[in-house]
Amino acid sequence: MLSLIVFLPIIAGLVILAVPSSQKQIIRIVSLLAALAQGVLAVLIWRQYDPTMAGIVAAPGGSPVGSFQMIERISWISLDLGSFGPLNIEYFLGVDGLSITMVLLTALISIIGVLSSWPIQKQVKGYFILYNLLSTAMMGCFVALDFFLFYVFWELMLLPMYFLIGIWGGPNREYAAIKFFLYTLFGSVFMLLVMIGLYFSVTDPLTGHHTFSLVAMADQANYIKGAILGPDSVTWRYVAFIVLFVGFAIKVPMFPFHTWLPDAHVEAPTPISVILAGVLLKLGTYGMMRINFPLFPEVYQAGLYVIGVFGAINIIYGAFCALAQQDLKKMVAYSSISHMGYVLLGLAAANTEGMIGALYQMFNHGTITAMLFLLVGVIYDRAHSRQIDKFGGLASYMPVYTGIVIVAWFASLGLPGLSGFISEALVFVGAFTAPVTRPIAMVSVLGIVFGAAYLLWSLQRMFLGKRKPDALYDLEVDADGHEHIHFHDWKGKLDLDARELTMLIPLVIIVIALGIYPMPVMGLLTASINKLVQVLAPVAMSAVH
């Protein structure tokens, strides 16, 4: 089941390879079918998933796969390394509360991404092959429970993303694409060293051999004394934690490693922005929750304050930057940085509320930001510009569009009744509860104010008020005195068309529904988060040592 959901897109990619490149419609339909099938599978997995089982780590003396579900585990590579014992790499997939949330999000965003890619005309075949490759890699990252496998999927994302930004992107795409590539690779090569170091430091309790299994690595009892990342090797464990953290923080992106994100977003085509903000950024914080923190809990506990401070910087700095932007897409990109700061703050709280808030915020940010980028794409398609001050009074001409913009904008600033509110509120509850993060939380609250400022201000400037004299659209008054606007060389419908509505309406529904009744998602992750908090708690560690 999990293998299928991971590899469906790549199979679609292979099918597309056989389709002649002139058959653009067939290529699109194959991709859409694959994404839809992935969605169906995600729903099936969701129905089968038992939310009472926690996952995260194997119980002492229990099954080596822990309470993970939908396990697929076969030996992939088994080498004899002489004095180092056998090298075992497993094809090991499974889900717990952390990953199933992200699997659902990924499946949803993948469908939206395909729909949003429909108008792309340039090298359609190449585009969808890369898109499907990216889709497989993302899904694979979220369900892989073997570090090696995770790493393969993680690196596999880079190349398609590079080309998707680099070929189908905006004018400055070369720079943005290579910046993205170098930044992320810089983060992940250190991950490779840590991965190898962990391999030599951890044994599987059942076989006694070294292992890449993340489930085994999450249990501190499995670390060998005297190994490079063993329990007594304090310095190297700190170093390993920090470089892993930086690797994931680049993806989040956390200040000061965030500079690739605005560039990538501004240059990327709309669907790729949606994927980037909707799923890829989550991989950073997911990686922290799955790998970085549980593997080095004592360093995590020592670093809570620092993580919290960086979270606060992200929140406030991101909001300030967003406030200063003229380009709507850049504003949304910085708002992503700001909102991912809430996730970091929740993670720094190290308690159940904060962690649930963080994970729920990851899901909500995925859906809300996807909407924001789709909406930016809508206006860009029509006006070929995203300059905020070049619009004005759009509300009276594009009512449906404006309505959805209002939902998305308010969800993003955390209006009660919409999903973003619940997660941000939980993050703050968590952060205020924990003594370490309390002062940080007080400062971070300001972020909400600034968040409201840039969102409302842009809303006002673009949609309300009167048409600006140098606006990017022309007005025509017909015989009856009605005003009609038209954008230069835009032939389509002025307000949202059917395809755009198909992408946006489900997201609107999700954002509203989860704002009123969050349990469908929150129910999934509670047990796992409880377990995670327990694994990370200082008490659990002292029991081991």
- What gap in Å lies between CA 352 and CA 531, rounded to an integer? 9
* Residue whose CB is less far from other proteins, 152 or 415: 152
From 100, 177, 388, 521, residue interacting with other proteins (rule: CB under 8 A): 177
* Residue whose CB is less far from other proteins, 30 or 198: 198
* Residue whose CB is less far from other proteins, 199 or 310: 199
From 19, 152, 406, 540, residue interacting with other proteins (rule: CB under 8 A): 152
- Candidate segments 56-64, 193-201, 313-321, 422-430, binder of other proteins by CB under 8 A: 193-201
Residues in 58-117 that interact with other proteins by CB under 8 A: 77-84, 87
Q: Which of 336, 495, 381, 367 has its CA nearest to residue 117?
A: 381
From 166, 253, 278, 346, residue interacting with other proteins (rule: CB under 8 A): 166
Q: How far apart are CB 433 and other proteins at their closest, in Å? A: 39
- Candidate segments 65-73, 153-161, 284-292, 328-336, binder of other proteins by CB under 8 A: 153-161
Q: Which of 141, 172, 146, 169 has its CA nearest to residue 156?
A: 141
- CA distances for 119 relative to 18, 127, 163, 269, angstroms: 22, 12, 18, 11
From 1, 19, 53, 123, residue interacting with other proteins (rule: CB under 8 A): 123
Q: How far apart are CB 197 and other proteins at their closest, in Å? A: 5
Tell whether residue 167 is a contact of other proteins (CB under 8 A). Answer: yes
| Contacts of residue 402, Cβ cutoff 8 Å, sequence gap at least 6 | 394, 395, 463
With CB under 8 A as the rule, give the number of residues binding other proteins: 39
* Residue whose CB is less far from other proteins, 89 or 370: 89
Expressed in percent and rounded to 5, the helix, strand and coil fractions of the chain are 70, 10, 25
Question: What are the residue ranges of helices labelled H in 169-280?
Answer: 173-201, 214-217, 234-251, 260-267, 270-275
* Residue whose CB is less far from other proteins, 166 or 366: 166
- What gap in Å lies between CA 316 and CA 442, rounded to an integer? 12
Q: In terms of residues, how long is the chain?
A: 545
* Residue whose CB is less far from other proteins, 226 or 520: 226
* Residue whose CB is less far from other proteins, 87 or 395: 87
Angle at 104 between CA 11 and CA 58, to 5 degrees: 95
Taking each helix axis from N to C end, the angle separating 419-433 and 399-413, rounded to the nearest 10 degrees, works out to 10
Classify residue 68 by its DSSP letter.
-
Continuous segment of H or E residues that includes residue 47: helix 24-48
- Candidate segments 96-104, 178-186, 352-360, 372-380, binder of other proteins by CB under 8 A: 178-186
Backbone angles phi, psi at 408, to 5 degrees: -65, -45
Tell whether residue 509 is a contact of other proteins (CB under 8 A). Answer: no
Classify residue 428 by its DSSP letter.
H
Backbone angles phi, psi at 111, to 5 degrees: -60, -50
* Residue whose CB is less far from other proteins, 63 or 75: 75
Q: Which two tokens stand for residue 462?
A: 């673009």
Q: How far apart are CB 307 and other proteins at their closest, in Å? A: 24
Q: How far apart are CB 227 and other proteins at their closest, in Å? A: 8
Tell whether residue 199 is a contact of other proteins (CB under 8 A). Answer: yes
Tell whether residue 236 is a contact of other proteins (CB under 8 A). Answer: yes
From 33, 36, 159, 425, residue interacting with other proteins (rule: CB under 8 A): 159
Tell whether residue 457 is a contact of other proteins (CB under 8 A). Answer: no
Q: Which of 52, 54, 58 has its CA nearest to residue 218?
A: 58
Give contact residues for other proteins (rule: CB under 8 A). 77-84, 87, 123, 126, 151-152, 155-156, 158-159, 162-163, 166-167, 173-174, 177-178, 181-182, 185-186, 189-190, 192-193, 196-197, 199-200, 228, 236
